Amino acid sequence: MGITQQVKFGNTGLKISPIIVGCMSYGSKDWHPWIIEDKNEVFKILKTAYDSGLRTFDTADGYSNGQSEILLGEFLKEYEIPRETVIIMTKVWAPVDSSLEGFQRTGPMNEDQKVHFANQQGLSRKHIIEACKNSVRRLGTYIDVYQIHRADQDTPMEETMRALNDVVQQGLTRYIGASSMLGTEFAEYQFIAEKNGWSKFVNMQDCYNLLYREEEREMIPYIKKHGIAQTPWSPLQRGLLSRPVEVSSYREDNDRVLKGRRLNQYEDFEIEIINRVEQVAVKKGITMAEVATAWLLSKGTFPILGLNSVQRVKEAIKALDVTLTEEECKYLEEPYRPKALIQ
């Protein structure tokens, strides 16, 4: 199997790997019990990905309170990875505080934290510029694509877009992007940037997979019209599309979102979709994860995969060679029903 070639990223001149390595799984178990915190294990996974041609890495300052960014930066330094051979994407919005040892906010803030983090979260000019500099410090290098993790209802959009333009002008990041929000919000951010001659978003990192396709209503038509790249997070819906419905995983048993969600809590159409993914996988002699990933690749997206083992890296690479027929895609999509928005 040859090295994975890099491909054009939306309407930019940037070339990235067709599958993005998601670094949310690397950091501290204090944040989530399923996180991989052994540096050697993380480095082995990342080196396998890099050597295979998966050289685009997505992280966020909020992942493990900055530890994910630190590990990625240490990996690049440890293996003397030429900076020009990798693409680094990270995000801003969540509270991060290195002065509070062991701080891991996985629930609502208490009153003291609300005061302490009043200006250390969100998308204000103050926070964006400080957070971007801190991400660069943790990574030990500049950022290629700096993304807002969510929209911020407390900050004027003009303030956010001007600050993002400034971090581009300062050389801290090369491009900017955005993550889950309403299509109307995303379009308004873009309009403000265009009106003022500022940098515009080059990608939308949204939740999109066979079990969640609400983005097809407004967001996807908009970004396709404007040549904006789509980089879906949770392409396997937190692993639910990678195994039969009756099988759980360590993450499902310990993740605060997934914990307690079992077979009798799924909608009938969701169970049917998972069953169909399994059927297609068996027919083609591949894994369910390969089927779900191949479906996203067929849509022209750049899925962000959380790779928690060397085997998962190899599985991701195999998905690049999977071709789903039009009939197979229709079969996988047919049971879907509308559901509540994820923002």
Instruction: Report the phi/psi class of residue 233: left, alpha or beta, with left for phi > 0 and alpha for psi in -120 to 50.
Output: beta
* Token pair recorded at residue 246: 């009756």
Q: Which of 26, 50, 63, 146 is catalytic?
A: 63
First to last CA, the chain: 38
* Token pair recorded at residue 108: 């609502």
Q: What is the DSSP string of 72-133?
A: HHHHHHHTT--GGG-EEEEEE-S---TTSTT----S---HHHHHHTTTSSSS-HHHHHHHHH
- Gap between the Cα atoms of 13 and 36, Å rounded: 34
Please, what is the Cα angle at 254 between 250 and 260, to 5 degrees? 105
Q: CA 261: distance to chain centroid?
A: 22
- Gap between the Cα atoms of 19 and 302, Å rounded: 5
Task: Tell me, yes or no, if 63 is annotated catalytic.
Answer: yes
How does DSSP classify residue 207? B
- Identify whether the C-beta of residue 307 lies closer than 8 Å to the C-beta of residue 316: yes
> Active-site residues: which are they?
63
